[in-house]
Chain A
């Protein structure tokens, strides 16, 4: 029978099926960070259990790490304890740990692919919802809670029931300056934040195939904002090219065998999808959010919605609540909205290609005097690469702050946060109330749009700058 890629990966990882249909799924790769793991390791200790497969586990601290002056350690005591706890747990249980000053350190979802830890056809989990990022390689990757982190540490398996298959077909070619970020924002706008609940989404179509691995990661990263358990993109030559020679990628004869296997993964002709969504990329505008949910998207040519025109009472209330929080008037043109901050980074858009785009827009220009803008590379290796290309100089020259790698203001657990009422053009993935700091106002955008807004002091149509 014709199978989807999700079906194939699922079938290949089935350890056991109970009579009631509950499955035990084998986990090939487990990423661990400091925020969601301490209680899991503690659980192992209390029950006298070990980590079953330490070599299939990789630990790195990212959420709490400072993005400047890190040679002096972490000033905030709770953050420091959390990072030290991870280091100690990794050591006690024999798990490899990339410490804060290691060049390979960075946001866990950027580190996995960079190290070749993320491979097609594998199952990957992490106590972090944006684990969906790794689906860009044709890996079944999703976030889990801390109890499940403990379960995977102890058993290298996960109790799961199978999700349904959804296909998101993005046809046509993207116009200039419209990016992977705009695709995924448009998809979420279309299906809503609960649209993918219960599904694994596979992205296909010309526009997806044309994306770089970086762009594909951006798309899969935000699958969770669409409610999906995971996002998937079929591996192809670009995928193999990206992985070849990475530290943890297969080598020699193993490489050839692996590639041969990976080529069997794509969805079979005629496989059944429970739901299909189609989007035409060729007339997609730069897209951004106006509200406090990732589904609150609008074209840069559009305006803030008018709640009085919404009939459904619950939806109207939600829009009113969002607008009050965001400090926005109905019908304001998006290009008239001024910003105070710009944040470029995160596991959505903190990769080398993103930083190149920002530098291209910023070159020879200056950040507006009313804006403070920061660029936080996703990993030490991204930072090093950017510096080799001289991008840091261009950015600093233009008035951007150039930082050390970490999650930073994507969720503001470290010192980087918005003050109450501050408005930010952010390349991250969540615009929830308080996400970037209590009372902070987040607009999700692509890296180019963030850079252009930082320079203009307000949102602009990046196609016109």
Chain B
């Protein structure tokens, strides 16, 4: 995984509650056996008509937001299925940061595995950033993971919380499996004890 760098980019507003994974990437795109190339289908049924034409009103189709790197969204973002295709599509589109008041658990986890930073903020902070994002291409927001700070176009600063281990892995682009395999001895000894205590497993 690439290291997560500071993001200075356009923030797109998506003021919808409960954006679910079926909206983010509908099931017809889950038939792939690859991780790549899903960005063109991100929010497919909201972005395109059945015939495949762009729906001009949808935020990511508007000229000023086509290159958005930050998404500001309503509460409970990413609810629904465990499909990692959702963060794959988001990352492939070029979005690196998602800001909301809350995220569904599995989606939140999945983001970190794909170099995406999900940021939980209070309602008033999200409202403020939503306002900023409504300003279109002029609304560049800067997100500094190292400092745990977001700077809006007016220069105001919002700080955010993040689990230190997740922060470390994102910043360093670490591979979880590799890290865990360093604990091989602990896993093996756990398995031995378990096999003697609960032989039916």
Chain A residues proximal to chain B, CB less than 8 Å: 15-16, 18, 20-22, 24, 26, 28, 35-36, 38-39, 42-43, 47, 49, 56, 63-64, 76, 78-79, 81-82, 85, 119, 122, 127-129, 131, 142-148, 150-151, 154-157, 159, 161, 163, 193-194, 197-198, 227-229, 250, 254-255, 257-258, 261, 293, 314-315, 317-318, 321, 411-413, 420, 430, 432-435, 438-439
Stretch of B4-12, B59-67, B141-149, B178-186 on the interface side: B178-186
Contact yes or no, B75 A194, CB < 8 A:
yes
Question: Which of chain A's residues have a CB closer than 8 A to the CB of B105?
Answer: 163, 197-198, 227-229
B190 touches A15 (CB 8 A): yes
Residues of B within 8 A of A35 (CB): 30-31, 83
Query: Are B113 and A258 neighbours in the complex by a CB distance under 8 Å?
Result: no
Chain A contacts for B80, CB-based, 8 A:
129, 430, 432
Report the bound CA distance from A47 to B180 in whole Å.
14
Name B28-62 residues within 8 Å CB distance of A.
Answer: 28, 30-35, 45, 50
Return chain A residues, CB-CB under 8 Å to B183. 15-16, 24, 157
B128: Cβ under 8 A from any A Cβ: no
B104 contacts A145, C-beta separation under 8 Å: no
Closest 3 CB pairs of A and B: A250-B200, A147-B113, A38-B33
18 contacts between A and B (CB under 8 A): A16-B186, A63-B30, A76-B31, A78-B31, A82-B31, A82-B33, A85-B33, A129-B81, A145-B109, A151-B176, A157-B187, A163-B105, A194-B76, A257-B199, A293-B20, A314-B15, A413-B27, A434-B23
Q: Cβ of B50 and Cβ of A147 under 8 Å apart?
A: no
Instruction: Name the A residues within 8 Å of B87 (CB-CB).
Output: 145
B200 in contact with A318 (CB, 8 Å): no
B contact residues around A314 at 8 Å (CB): 15, 17, 74-75
Q: Which residues of A have CB within 8 Å of B191?
A: 26, 156
Taking a contact as CB atoms under 8 Å apart, the answer to whether B31 and A64 are in contact is yes
B18 close to A193 (CB less than 8 A): yes
Closest residue to B81 on the A side, CB-wise?
A: A129
User: Which range contains the number of B residues in contact with the other chain?
Assistant: 35 or more
Given contacts A129-B80, A412-B27, whether A147 and B110 have CB atoms under 8 Å apart is yes
Asked whether, in the complex, the Cβ of A145 is within 8 Å of the Cβ of B110, the reply is: yes
Complex Cα–Cα for A36 and B30 (A): 8
Which residues in window 103-120 of B have CB below 8 A to A? 103-106, 109-110, 113-114
Q: In the assembled complex, which residues on chain A have CB atoms less than 8 Å from the CB atom of B106?
A: 129, 142-145
Do B17 and A24 have beta carbons less than 8 Å apart? no
Interface centre among B81, B102, B113, B199 (most CB of A within 10 A): B81
Q: Is A20 touching B17 in the complex (CB atoms < 8 A)?
A: no
Q: How far is the CA of A146 from the CA of B35 in the complex (A)?
A: 10
- Min Cβ gap B69→A in Å is 22
For the complex, what is the distance from the CA of A274 to the CA of B75, rounded to whole Å? 22
Given contacts A38-B33, A145-B110, A434-B45, 19 further A-B contacts (CB under 8 A): A21-B165, A26-B187, A38-B34, A39-B33, A42-B34, A78-B31, A128-B81, A145-B82, A147-B84, A154-B180, A156-B191, A163-B105, A194-B79, A250-B200, A314-B15, A413-B28, A413-B31, A430-B80, A432-B80
